[in-house]
Structure 1
Amino acid sequence: MNDGTLQKRCAGVLLHITSLPNRDLGADAYRFVDFLAQSGMSLWQILPLGPTQGNLSPYQCLSAHAGNPKLISLQNLANEPWFNFKQSTSSRNRRKILKLAYQVANQDKKIQQNFLSFCNEHAFWLEDYAIFSTLLEIHGNKPWFKWPKRLRNRDIKYLKEIKLEFTDRINQFCFEQFIFFQQWLKLKAYANQNGIFIIGDMPIFIAHNCVDVWAHPEYFTLDQDGQLTSVAGVPPDSFSKMGQRWGNPLYCWDKMEADGFQWWIQRMGTQFKLYDIVRVDHFRGFESYWEIPAAYRTAMKGHWVTAPGEALFTALKSYYGTLPIIAEDLGYITPEVETLRDQFYLPGMRILQFAFDGNPNNSYLPANHIENCAVYTGTHDNDTTLGWFNSLSKKKQQTIYKYLGDSKKSMPWDLIQSGLNSIAQYIVIPMQDILELGSEGRMNVPGTIRGNWRWYFNWQQIKSGLQEKLYGLLANSNRL
């Protein structure tokens, strides 16, 4: 974010695509951009856009590069001049409509040319992804490490046979990525034209059951059968007393460093194409990470291992010139992590819900903020501000109100106002807080797998005058 893109105080909203009323890249997404612009906002932060698995977590995707086909707006697709589909675009017909669109596109020379160009541009990941997705279907969505050995180990001769036998299905998966990227980049362009920059989210680790691990097992902590030897997680912290065992494979950093971090250069290239700014989740893992032996079911028995973060970010900076990145520096942060963050002038994060523990030196307290950071009332892993506040004792609530110096006692707006007044250059507010929602609006509870990632709002929840209220608050805090 030191590249001149955003060199002023500004504000934004955190809302994932699946939290829009229609939960796709269609009309509601464009309407939300209009809402942001009318409110004086400059930022729209979303969660990862990749194809999700059974638990719907956008942090456990099937690919580090692909978009989620379920986010494709069928209505926008049906309105394309080359398709002009007149029937129902109900999501129940998603597979049928996408398949028909592919067949129609094959008859249009211009679309064919654009599709071929897209395939060539993304060749370093696209075919692997399409083959992987096809094989997942063939094997009833069994993870790749439970496939027959010759597929698990990517036997070249057998893969050629698969490509010949399932050519249409493989091309269909490629085509869906073509449509996704078209729709997403069109939406991003619309946002940019309206003064809205997109903050995307990139997990530091990727899922075990994803194409990138299957295609490049040498980069990950696997045995010869594709099984994990160690996994990622975090030790006990404010989110979880037992720590968190994420279960993701860890990186073989020595092999990645040996080839100049090409895997990371390609991965970041996709992120920079999709987003204006990338929030890197679990940034501290680039300095050192919590390694848990795969045999252990909890995160309690892990240990810290040093990572080559300085070498990696030096390589990325050398390749891309500027690094429009926000470092998610939450959890157990050491001086070494702070040094790595500051060496590359990356904004960190300040979470207001973490501020009020009675310690006057707490870095999350507004009085202790610095300019080069992004302040949040809460993240997708927190309860809503109102839900969080209502869970506190009356004594703790009074302490917070006393610190905020607001006699109105109006949550969540008191906390939002505190963030707006902060010296921090950026503030991002979850949409749930703007809508004054309680815990019913929570997006995710870390360490749990059921009921998460399902929240979405409806336009009736937007109170009359809300845009004007937000615009006034941003004007008064010099964030327009």
Structure 2
Amino acid sequence: MKDKRRLSGILLHPTSLPSPYGIGDLGEAAYKFVDFLATAGQHLWQILPLTHTGYGDSPYQSFSAFAGQPLLISPSGLKRLGLVGDKDLEGCPASDDERVDYGTLIPWKQHILEAAYREFCRDDYDNQKLKEGFSRFVQEQGCWLNDYALFMACKERNEGRSWLEWEDQYRNPTEDIKDRLRGRLAQTIGFYQFTQFLFFDEWMRLKEYANQKDIRIIGDIPIFVSMDSADVWASQHLFQLDSNGYPLKVAGVPPDYFSATGQLWGNPLYAWDAHKEEGFAWWISRIRHQLDVLDILRIDHFRGFEAYWSVEYGEKTAINGQWVQAPGYELFNAIQNALGDDLPIIAEDLGIITDEVNALREHFHFPGMKVLQFAFDSTLESSYLPHQFTSPDCVCYTGTHDNDTTSGWYQHLPADCQEKVRRYTCCKDASQIGRCLIRTCLGSIARYSIFPLQDLLGYGSTARMNIPGTASDNWSWRFKKDALSPSLAEELKELTLLYGRG
């Protein structure tokens, strides 16, 4: 990456921002968080995938690899545009300022967005600038927007069911049938196009504000896409599917120390030969789109570009899989040829990492990740310990969205391991372990140092964002509006400058 400064920042997904509307959004609180970062001397804001979430509300399982999350659209922003009124916003079911209740929130947010679209379509709605912006957006983003909007309209027509359960004319439509469906479902298609316009209009304004304060946004994408997505539905030839659209093989990871049966993710695998034949056009479009709306991109499960774990569809666990080579060099060469050599990409290189995976990452000069919570094994010789770092070309984290908070993690460690952590971080007060690990992270030679907001605030396990392998109570944590104080910003700034960051 071009910027060689020592920088630091905070990991926080926008859904975790405070808001009176049940979920964090791209409105006032997001700008206040950017202000806090700037005051605290931070230059990085890392988020999770911004995509339109599907089953389980996970940002890593979405209806599209391109479409933005409509739940992040600010109701207050809609009101300022004259698209909704006070009466529309009165029925918000928000009841907890520390958790998102997706079950009650999603129908309400859909109702508000539909009301906004109806107002936008009225003949007497006179915001000409917004109408021109919408027309321009539909024209410029058609390469992914048209399929996404049609997919969502068909999904709505089929009562939200997976596209594998749709009738034949919807499940694998010819271009002629798609054209007829677009005519039949024009109003619903327009709604989904409009929500995407609103999302990206708000997002790009927020990103510009952050960039003006010298803050870069680090985004995130999973390597694989969801089975129930516009990407798979519209481009079935690019995935390992049978003639009925069902996957032949699915993604996962093999058994390891943490799981005797491995992890069966269930995502369809790429038909890499088909991608090669098309010059990796889908992947180039995906990365280009992400880098248009982000400053830096983290790619989850980077090792899958060297070899991926392939499991027969229908298996109950990931035990009976096999490693299959992936065309990582060809893929990233094609992306570099299209987008430039110095791609601002961070490789998530955690898990089963071989010399071949490291060689692929190093060949393209992608920094990897060092997670301090993984560092304190029985030998204190882990490569995740800062004194073992061999190059500054990496990103050091206290933990990620998949880890417990540092305070919660520490509480669950054996006593001897707790002692090692305290000794290594020079922590005399266990209640300050989050702050001590942040100090260790900031003091490392890593180019970037990033820590979840929960660690800065010293929160325990109840503030954890995700527990991998579980399906409920994830992705819902939020912080309260009075949690970020001027004194906290000043303290973080002093610590950041002490270690030469910024």
TM-score band, normalised by shorter chain: over 0.9
Moved more, 434-443 or 236-245: 236-245
The answer as to whether partners of 1:98 and 1:176 remain within 8 angstroms in 2 is no
1:15 aligned onto 2:27: no
1:433 aligned onto 2:431: no
Q: Of 280, 289, 292, which residue of structure 1 is paired with 2:299?
A: 280
Instruction: Provide the rounded CA distance (Å) in 2 between the counterparts of 1:166 and 1:57.
Output: 28
1:61 aligned onto 2:53: no
Q: 1:285 to 1:302 in 2, by over 3 A?
A: same
The answer as to whether partners of 1:43 and 1:196 remain within 8 angstroms in 2 is yes
1:133 aligned onto 2:152: yes
1:379 aligned onto 2:397: no
Instruction: Provide the rounded CA distance (Å) in 2 between the counterparts of 1:58 and 1:433.
Output: 21
Partner of 2:279: 260
Specify the code of the residue in structure 2 equivalent to 1:12.
G
C-alpha displacement of 1:256: 0.5
C-alpha displacement of 1:111: 2.8
1:153 aligned onto 2:162: no
Q: Of 161, 183, 203, which residue of structure 2 is paired with 1:164?
A: 183
Instruction: Provide the rounded CA distance (Å) in 1 between the counterparts of 2:464 and 2:455.
Output: 10
Instruction: Provide the rounded CA distance (Å) in 1 between the counterparts of 2:258 and 2:87.
Output: 47
C-alpha displacement of 1:53: 1.3
Moved more, 93-102 or 248-257: 93-102
Q: 1:352 to 1:284 in 2, by over 3 A?
A: same
1:462 aligned onto 2:459: no
Q: 1:104 to 1:272 in 2, by over 3 A?
A: farther
C-alpha displacement of 1:464: 5.8
Instruction: Provide the rounded CA distance (Å) in 1 between the counterparts of 2:40 and 2:307.
Output: 40
Q: Of 328, 352, 364, which residue of structure 1 is paired with 2:384?
A: 364
Partner of 2:352: 332
Q: Of 343, 348, 354, which residue of structure 2 is paired with 1:323?
A: 343
Instruction: Provide the rounded CA distance (Å) in 2 between the counterparts of 1:388 and 1:407.
Output: 17
Q: Secondary structure at the match of 2:383?
A: coil
C-alpha displacement of 1:70: 1.3
Q: 1:86 to 1:444 in 2, by over 3 A?
A: closer
Q: Of 428, 434, 446, which residue of structure 2 is paired with 1:412?
A: 434
Q: Secondary structure at the match of 1:118?
A: helix
C-alpha displacement of 1:87: 4.2
Instruction: Provide the rounded CA distance (Å) in 2 between the counterparts of 1:134 and 1:189.
Output: 31
Specify the code of the residue in structure 2 equivalent to 1:452.
N
Q: Of 206, 210, 223, which residue of structure 2 is paired with 1:191?
A: 210
Partner of 2:76: 75
Moved more, 356-365 or 469-478: 356-365
Q: 1:238 to 1:389 in 2, by over 3 A?
A: farther
Q: Secondary structure at the match of 2:220?
A: strand
1:388 aligned onto 2:389: no
Moved more, 99-108 or 342-351: 99-108
Specify the code of the residue in structure 2 equivalent to 1:368.
Q
Partner of 1:348: 368
Moved more, 182-191 or 445-454: 445-454
Q: Secondary structure at the match of 1:412?
A: helix
The answer as to whether partners of 2:134 and 2:197 remain within 8 angstroms in 1 is yes
Q: Secondary structure at the match of 2:219?
A: strand
C-alpha displacement of 1:241: 3.9
Q: 1:93-104 residue pairs with structure 2 within 5 A?
A: 93-104=111-122
Instruction: Provide the rounded CA distance (Å) in 1 between the counterparts of 2:161 and 2:348.
Output: 32
C-alpha displacement of 1:476: 0.4
C-alpha displacement of 1:159: 2.5
C-alpha displacement of 1:169: 1.3
C-alpha displacement of 1:360: 4.2
Moved more, 249-258 or 453-462: 453-462
Instruction: Provide the rounded CA distance (Å) in 1 between the counterparts of 2:84 and 2:279.
Output: 47
Q: Aligned residues, how many? A: 476
Q: 1:191-233 CA deviation, whole Å, 9 max, x = no partner?
A: 1011110000011000000000000000101111111111111
Partner of 2:105: none
Q: 1:113-168 CA deviation, whole Å, 9 max, x = no partner?
A: 22121111111111111111011111111011111112111133332222222211
Identical-residue share of aligned pairs (%): 44
Q: Secondary structure at the match of 2:8?
A: strand
Instruction: Provide the rounded CA distance (Å) in 1 between the counterparts of 2:294 and 2:345.
Output: 10
The answer as to whether partners of 2:38 and 2:213 remain within 8 angstroms in 1 is yes
Partner of 1:234: 253
Specify the code of the residue in structure 2 equivalent to 1:89.
L
Partner of 1:144: 163
The answer as to whether partners of 2:409 and 2:461 remain within 8 angstroms in 1 is yes
Moved more, 455-464 or 224-233: 455-464
Q: 1:98 to 1:242 in 2, by over 3 A?
A: farther
Moved more, 159-168 or 319-328: 159-168
Q: 1:110 to 1:461 in 2, by over 3 A?
A: closer
Instruction: Provide the rounded CA distance (Å) in 1 between the counterparts of 2:260 and 2:472.
Output: 19
Q: 1:238 to 1:388 in 2, by over 3 A?
A: farther
TM-score with structure 1 setting the length: 0.96
1:478 aligned onto 2:500: yes
C-alpha displacement of 1:86: 5.3
Q: 1:282-312 CA deviation, whole Å, 9 max, x = no partner?
A: 0010001111111211111111111000111
The answer as to whether partners of 2:88 and 2:112 remain within 8 angstroms in 1 is no
1:123 aligned onto 2:123: no
Q: Secondary structure at the match of 2:477?
A: coil
C-alpha displacement of 1:108: 4.4
Q: Secondary structure at the match of 1:363?
A: coil
Q: 1:22-61 residue pairs with structure 2 within 5 A?
A: 22=19, 23-61=24-62
Q: Of 269, 276, 279, which residue of structure 2 is paired with 1:250?
A: 269
- Structure 1: give runs of 5+ residues left out of the alignment: none
Moved more, 359-368 or 97-106: 97-106
Instruction: Provide the rounded CA distance (Å) in 1 between the counterparts of 2:265 and 2:154.
Output: 25
Instruction: Provide the rounded CA distance (Å) in 2 between the counterparts of 1:43 and 1:271.
Output: 17
Q: Secondary structure at the match of 2:57?
A: coil
